[in-house]
Amino acid sequence: MIDHIRSVDTAEIAIVFRETSAGEIRIGFRAKEADVGALARRFGGGGHRLASGGATVAGDLGGEITEAVVETAAQYLLTGEVNGRHS
């Protein structure tokens, strides 16, 4: 599914959030050019530049984690930098 999202012409980064158990969210990242491995590391994950291994975080799907990830990805696309680490 994430590769299908990434294939959209205007998509620079595709992010998929999946609740793996109550209070646990798995985040997958894919990109055309952006270093999503850096984004994944920001949230405790890892992976390659264009296809991260993702991150697993505690929280509720649709809560502040989702907002933080989307906001961080948007900032990265604007500035080219991923600062700090989500705790």
19: part of which helix (H) or strand (E)?
A: strand 13-21
Q: What is the pLDDT of residue 71?
A: 92
Q: What is the pLDDT of residue 56?
A: 92
Contact call for residues 68 and 82 (beta carbons, < 8 A)? no
Q: Where are the domains of the chain?
A: 2-79
The C-alpha angle 55, 58, 50, rounded to 5 degrees, equals 15
pLDDT tens per residue across span 58-86: 988 878 889 999 999 999 888 877 765 44
For domain 2-79, give the fold.
Answer: Diaminopimelate Epimerase; Chain A, domain 1 (3.10.310)
Q: What is the pLDDT of residue 9?
A: 65
Query: Which 8-state DSSP code applies to residue 57?
Result: E
Q: What is the pLDDT of residue 61?
A: 84
Mean pLDDT, the chain, as a whole number?
82
Q: Is the pLDDT of residue 25 over 90?
A: yes
